[in-house]
Amino acid sequence: MNETGIRAAARTRRIAAWTVVAALTVLPAAEAQVAVRGRVVHTMAGPPIPDGVVVITDGKIAAVGRAADVRVPEGHRVLDAAVVTPGLIDAHATAGLTGLLNIPHDQDQLDRSEPMQPQLRALDAYNTFDELVAYVRSFGVTTLHTGHAPGELIPGQTMIVKTAGRTVEDAVVVPTACVAVCLSAAAQKEERGQSPGTRGKMMSMLRAELVRAQEYLARREKVSELDKRPTRDLKLEVLAEVLSGKLPLLVTAHRAQDIAGALRLAKEFKLRIILDGAAEAYVLLDEIRAAGAPVIVHPLMQRAVGEAENLSFETPAKLRDAGIPFAFQSGYESYVPKTRVVLLEAAVAAGNGLSFEETLAGLTIEAARMLDIADRVGSLEPGKDGDVALFDADPFEYTTRCIGVVIEGAIVSDVKR
């Protein structure tokens, strides 16, 4: 086959894949009636249920319990699995902005035009039809905290979506979840004369912008007449929401000194922060706990190089011992494949000091609490969204396959991964 033929064949495969994705990502109410039975059902709201069943009606969980005690209504499609868990939550990803093809038109995760761009909305860049979204979904991931990647001082915003839906409006759970900040060498400019070039400059620029936002917020609150209010500034409006506590900062930092800088900034401006990556978090456990900052642990299979050279497989266990909330992420890499599978990353923690339930909690209920979405997802309880992952054995064994995924009662994947 010549080059033209190869390109045409590839295009045909992509169109076919997108057609399948489109078919799977619709959530019709008529198909939102499902019962999921498992030899073990991990609800994350209590002890595991042997021979359990989860009944989903009109997209919401209607009942959970032992199969002998729960009646499955007529018309519900019944699915069977060895192990049933809540839909998994990837606590920090770039999928949907980072695309599978790894070519310029599907790489919207990072804009290099200026260091601070808090006004950039993940909502405007997310692609529901990207094959990468369907791929991670097939491993049981039903909820993504996704958005702009670390690489500039303030690269943009993050959002929370379900891994289903034809449009971003269908998928969105929280349109603006955090404002991302990057306190690492990835945000430093290498060319002389460009800013920020040092850690001191990064912190100085952040402080200056937060002070500007304070002044902007004060001017807006001082006057009541619309015509006297300051001219709208999208950057400062977003940072004003950070200062008021409505939005947390998601701070990517690996070195202990950068983690300390993030905690210092949060204390100075009374900010809510979530630490992201935090390869050397075990050095500052007391300080992180005192600051009340939860941690989204770096992907455990991330390469131990550069600022992450001191990462440890045991960091989640050390955070647990210190009483610091944590969750797992797929993260972002600047090289292919750029997006990992969070289930496989968490499995490493299960072999390095965490129990099965603790590891699963970091992928479900603890991630949901950290992201303030536990009222909808993270556990299998009546009234919550009908998001379920089905496995043929222990999810943290590499030979195990995810055999089905349900989002709000719709079967969105039956590929065996």
Domain count, the chain: 2
Question: How far is 146 from 330, CA to CA, in rounded Å?
Answer: 10
Helix (H/G/I), strand (E/B), else coil: 73: coil
Q: Residue 3's pLDDT band (boundaries 50, 70, 90)? A: very low
Question: How far is 202 from 196, CA to CA, in rounded Å?
Answer: 5
What pLDDT, on a 0 to 100 scale, did the predictor assign at position 225? 61
**Are 248 and 368 found together in one domain?**
yes
pLDDT, tens only, 97-136: 999 888 888 899 999 999 999 999 999 999 999 999 999 9
What pLDDT, on a 0 to 100 scale, did the predictor assign at position 226? 58
For residue 199, tell me if it sits in a domain.
no
Q: What is the DSSP string of 43-60?
A: -SSSS-EEEEEEEEETTE
**Are 148 and 264 found together in one domain?**
yes
**Is the per-residue pLDDT at 183 higher than 70?**
yes
For residue 120, tell me if it sits in a domain.
yes
Pull the structure tokens for residue 25.
Answer: 């990502």
**Are 51 and 100 found together in one domain?**
no
What pLDDT, on a 0 to 100 scale, did the predictor assign at position 325? 98
What pLDDT, on a 0 to 100 scale, did the predictor assign at position 227? 61
Q: Residue 275's pLDDT band (boundaries 50, 70, 90)? A: very high
Q: Residue 192's pLDDT band (boundaries 50, 70, 90)? A: confident
**Are 5 and 79 found together in one domain?**
yes
Pull the structure tokens for residue 400.
Answer: 């195990």
The predicted model gives 219-243 an average pLDDT of: 84
Contact present, 243 and 271 (Cβ < 8 Å):
yes
Q: Look up the CATH number of the domain holding residue 41.
A: 2.30.40.10
Question: How far is 147 from 168, CA to CA, in rounded Å?
Answer: 13
For residue 135, tell me if it sits in a domain.
yes
What pLDDT, on a 0 to 100 scale, did the predictor assign at position 67? 97
User: Residue 21 belongs to what domain range?
Assistant: 1-86+378-417
Pull the structure tokens for residue 184.
Answer: 């690492």
For residue 217, tell me if it sits in a domain.
no
Closest by Cα among 320, 183, 207, 215 to 271 = 207
Pull the structure tokens for residue 30.
Answer: 């008529």
The predicted model gives 29-52 an average pLDDT of: 91
Mean pLDDT of the chain: 91
**Are 29 and 94 found together in one domain?**
no
For residue 256, tell me if it sits in a domain.
yes
Strands 172-182 and 249-253: parallel
For residue 259, tell me if it sits in a domain.
yes
**Are 165 and 303 found together in one domain?**
yes
- Report the share of the chain in percent with pLDDT over 70: 91
Closest by Cα among 302, 331, 305, 306 to 315 = 302
Lowest mean pLDDT among 92-101, 222-231, 237-246: 222-231
Contacts of 95 (CB under 8 A, 6+ apart): 130, 132, 133, 136, 144, 146, 330, 339
pLDDT, tens only, 146-170: 999 999 999 999 999 999 999 999 9
Task: Count the neighbouring beta carbons within 10 Å of the beta carbon of residue 233.
Answer: 14
For residue 61, tell me if it sits in a domain.
yes
**Are 276 and 171 found together in one domain?**
yes
What pLDDT, on a 0 to 100 scale, did the predictor assign at position 28? 46
CA 297 to chain centre: 12
**Are 20 and 102 found together in one domain?**
no
Q: Residue 328's pLDDT band (boundaries 50, 70, 90)? A: very high
Q: Which amino acid is at 101?
A: L
Buried b (16+ CB within 10 A) or exposed e, 36-47: bbbebbbbbeee
The predicted model gives 293-309 an average pLDDT of: 95
**Are 331 and 351 found together in one domain?**
yes
For residue 191, tell me if it sits in a domain.
no
**Is the per-residue pLDDT at 224 higher than 80?**
no
Closest by Cα among 247, 237, 348 to 300 = 348
**Are 364 and 247 found together in one domain?**
yes
**Are 63 and 135 found together in one domain?**
no
CA distance readout (Å), 346 to 88, 97, 296, 356, 415: 11, 22, 11, 10, 21
What pLDDT, on a 0 to 100 scale, did the predictor assign at position 31? 65
Q: Look up the CATH number of the domain holding residue 370.
A: 3.20.20.140
**Is the per-residue pLDDT at 342 higher than 70?**
yes
Q: What is the DSSP string of 118-136?
A: TT--GGGT--TT-HHHHHH
**Is the per-residue pLDDT at 19 higher than 80?**
no
- Report the share of the chain in percent with pLDDT over 90: 82
Question: How far is 208 from 195, CA to CA, in rounded Å?
Answer: 14
Contacts of 104 (CB under 8 A, 6+ apart): none
What pLDDT, on a 0 to 100 scale, did the predictor assign at position 5? 45
Q: Which range is most confident: 96-105, 211-220, 249-258?
A: 249-258
Contacts of 211 (CB under 8 A, 6+ apart): none
**Are 264 and 339 found together in one domain?**
yes
